[in-house]
Structures are given as C-alpha cells and as structure tokens.
Amino acid sequence: MNTTIMLFLLQDGITNGAIYALLGLALVLVFAVTRVILIPQGEFVTYGALSYAMLATGQVPGTAKLAVAMGLVAFGLDLFFARKSLHARLVARAVAVDIVFPLAVCLLTYALAGPKTPIAVNIALALLIVAAIGLFLYRIAFQPIAHTSVLVLLIASVGCHLALQGLGLVFFGAEGLRGPALSNVALAAGSLRFTGQSLAVYGLTVAFIIALWLFFGYSLTGKALRATAVNRLGARLVGIRTTLSGQIAFLLASLIGAISGILIVPITTLYYDTGFLIGLKGFIAAIIGGLVSYPLTAVAAILVGVVEAFSSFYASNFKEVIVFTLILPVLVLRSLAAPAVEEEKD
C-alpha cells in the first residue's frame, strides 16, 4: 500500500471524523438532558450549511422566515400552557424570546444580506437562524411530551426530521450548494497538504470539545444541565427548570449542527437531504460512545471517519454498508458487558 494514499485517506477520514465528533457530542448532550434521540440533527447541519451558502450569494434563505413562524407557534404554546397563571413577567419573556428574537434575526438578515456581506457576518446570521429554529423545535415538538417514553420521543423526532427535511427542499431547492471557504490558506507538510478549511475543522472541533468541557465542568448553567441529565427529579427539586434545560440543550445542538454544516459546505456540495446521513454517522459515534461519554464519542467519530475514508477507497460501493455495520460488533460487546440486573423501565 502506498503511504501517500494512506496518509491522504487518514487525513480525509480525520477531517470527516471531526465533523462526526461534533455531531456525536451534540447528540449525546441532547439525549442526556432530554432523552430525545435527535434525528433532525442532520437538518441542523444542512440548514446551517445551506443558509450560509445562500447568504454568500446574497440571497435571504427561507429558514429566516421559518424561525419567525416557529417563534409564533412557540408563543402560542407558551401562552396556552400558562393560561391558568398568566402574569406579566411570563408574557414579557414569551414575547422577547418567541417573537422579538426571531423577528430581529429575520430583519437583520434582510438588512445585511447582500453579495458583498463579509463571511463572518453571514456565518453569524446562519448560526442565529438555526439556533432559533433549534430552540423552538424543542419548545414546539418535545416540551409538551417531555415526560413520555424514549420511544414516543424518538418517533416525534422522526416526524421533525421529515418535516424539516421537506422544508429544506422548499427553502434550498433540489440542487446542491457549496459555500465559500473560511480561509484559502494552504500548508504543506511533506506529501500532505492542509487547507485552511481542514485546519479550521480541526481547530473548531478541539475548541468545541474544550468549550463544552469548561461549560459543563465549571459554569452553573452547565452543571444544571448535567444535573438534569443525572437526575431529573433531583434537578426539579432544587428549582432547575427542566424545560429550560431542554431548550438550552437544543439550542447548543442546533448551533453545533450549524457550525458543522458551515465547516463542510466549502469542501463538499450539500443537498437538502445530505444532512440525514451525516447526522446518522455522528449517531454511530454517539452509540459507540454509549450516549454518555464525550471523549469516547469523539474517538469513535474519528474512527468512523477513517473507516469511511478507507472503505470508500477500497470498496466504494459498500462504504455505507461497512460504516453502518461497524456498529454491530460494538453492540455485541456492549451486550456481553451488560449488567446481569437491568434497571427496569416503563
């Protein structure tokens, strides 16, 4: 085997793996806090990527309007569920979060969008839009059924995926899009070339892992999220609003998804439905990580990326088969190691 090819494949795999790691981290985060298995994670990726790509061409993506529409629905739900104990502070909060915030983002997008808008502004706008969508998605679809079983949440999650993917087609069309690179720098080290883009991928992945670690380890909000994950009732008993925890978890996940999308859209053409498969690979990593461990998930994600790179070279036809079968030996190992006495579930 040729060393150059091998190094190249390895590099390619690690770049993709880093993206899967980000998505896997988000999935673990959301599952831990809300018990939702976040199938629409892939849509956050495409929404982020394609909103950014459209903004780069000077157009306003439909996602901006979607955020406003979802905000209105969220507002309705907030008022409806609080109808017995409406008070000014609650209404003010609902107006601010559900109406003013998405409307401001939308208006800002219309005001700033143009062919000459700097990349950084476009990125910020795309992130804001997707963050709003993620937040409202939890409020609308999951908060009312937060107490139900993982299965019901999972199916609702699938429903969200279908709806968002369909909307993706409406907003972005069936044609694929590419976005401008974040930087055009290129470095060479021996036979390997590092583009600025792939360096950004590594850098941001590492930065995110560190940021998440700091957030969960040291901030009170982060600790409250962890506490919600460890013991829901315990969290409520100290006054942590688990609904708020859920919203924050979704907000973070949508941000991470959108960033992943923005990172890869300059490298590969993304279509409105590409996100699903990318998200699922983050999933494989998350499952290998047991849906609890962040470092293990990151390592597993790199592994998934590398396996994918190598199998696309040697057996490109069976690339997906191999990647998704990867999970079976892991599951076997997990089931062998499973404790004799299971916790009972309802």
Partner 1 sequence: MSALLSVSDVHIAYGKVEAVRGVSLEVGENEIVTIIGANGAGKTTLLNAVMGILPLKGRTMFAGKDMATLDIEDRVAAGLSLVPEHRELFATMNVEDNLQLGAFRIAKATAARSFERVYSLFPRLQERRKQLAGTLSGGEQQMLAMGRALMGAPKLLMLDEPSLGLAPIIVADIFRTIGELRAAGVSVLLVEQNAQAALQIADRAYVMELGEFVLSGAARDIARNQRVAASYLGFQHEGESAV
Partner 2 sequence: MTQRLPLIIFALVMALIPLVPGIPPFWIVLLDNIGLAALVAMGLVLLTGVGGLTSFGQAAFCGFGAYTTAVLTTAYGVSPWLTLPLSLLVSGIAAVLLGIVTVRLSGHYLPLGTIAWGIALFYLFSKLEFLGRNDGISGIPPLAIGSFKMLSPGAIYYAIWIAVLISAVLTLNLLDSRTGRAIRALRRGHIAAEAFGVQTPRAKLLVFIYAAVLAGLSGWLYAHFQRAANPTPFGPQAGIEYLFIAVVGGAGYVWGAVLGAGIVVILKEVLQSYLPYIFGGQSQLETIVFGILLVMLLQLAPSGVWPWLMARLPLKAARKTPDTSLTLPARERAPTTSAVLLQLDKARKQFGGVTAVNDVSFDVKAREIVALIGPNGAGKSTTFNLITGVLTATSGAISVLGRKVENAPPQEVVKLGVARTFQHVKLVPDMTVLENVAIGAHLRGASGAVASMFRLDRADEARLLAEAARQIERVGLTDQIDQLAGSLSLGQQRIVEIARALCVDPMLLLLDEPAAGLRHMEKQRLAALLRQLRDGGMSVLLVEHDMGFVMDLADRIVVLDFGTKIAEGTPEAIKKNPEVIKAYLGAAA
- According to the binding rule CB under 8 A, does residue 159 interact with partner 1? no
Contact 237, 11 (CB under 8 A): no
Phi-psi category of residue 58: left, alpha or beta, with phi > 0 → left and psi -120 to 50 → alpha: left
Contact 282, 268 (CB under 8 A): no
Which residue in 195, 215, 184, 207 sits closest to 259, CA to CA?
Answer: 207
| In the complex, minimum distance from the CB of residue 291 to partner 2, in angstroms, rounded to a whole number | 7
Only segment of 16-24, 231-239, 280-288, 311-319 that touches partner 1 (CB under 8 A): 231-239
Contact pick of 231, 268, 314, 315 for partner 1 (by CB under 8 A): 231
d(CA 62, CA 22): 25
How many amino acids of this chain bind partner 2 (CB under 8 A)? Answer: 51
Contact pick of 280, 293, 296, 313 for partner 2 (by CB under 8 A): 280
d(CA 290, CA 331): 9
Report what 331 binds from partner 1, partner 2, none; CB cut-off 5-8 Å by kind: partner 2
Nearest CB to partner 1, comparing residues 218 and 342: 218
Strands (E), 183-291: 186-189, 192-195
- According to the binding rule CB under 8 A, does residue 178 interact with partner 1? no
Contact 43, 137 (CB under 8 A): no
**Site of tokens 């792939």:** 198
- According to the binding rule CB under 8 A, does residue 233 interact with partner 1? yes
| In the complex, minimum distance from the CB of residue 93 to partner 1, in angstroms, rounded to a whole number | 14
- According to the binding rule CB under 8 A, does residue 152 interact with partner 2? yes
Give CA 252 to chain center in angstroms.
Answer: 8
Which residues does 235 contact at the CB level (< 8 Å), separation at least 6?
A: 224, 227, 228, 242, 245
- According to the binding rule CB under 8 A, does residue 171 interact with partner 2? no
CA 132 vs CA 33, 102, 115, 145, 206: distances in Å: 19, 6, 24, 20, 25
Report what 334 binds from partner 1, partner 2, none; CB cut-off 5-8 Å by kind: partner 2
Contact pick of 77, 108, 155, 236 for partner 1 (by CB under 8 A): 236
- According to the binding rule CB under 8 A, does residue 345 interact with partner 1? no
Kindly list the residues in this chain that would bind partner 2 in the complex (CB under 8 A).
31, 37, 140-141, 144-145, 148, 150-152, 154-156, 158-167, 169-170, 174, 280, 283-284, 287, 291, 317-318, 320-321, 323-325, 327-328, 331-332, 334-335, 338, 340-342, 344-346
Kindly list the residues in this chain that would bind partner 1 in the complex (CB under 8 A).
84-85, 220, 223-224, 226-227, 230-231, 233-241
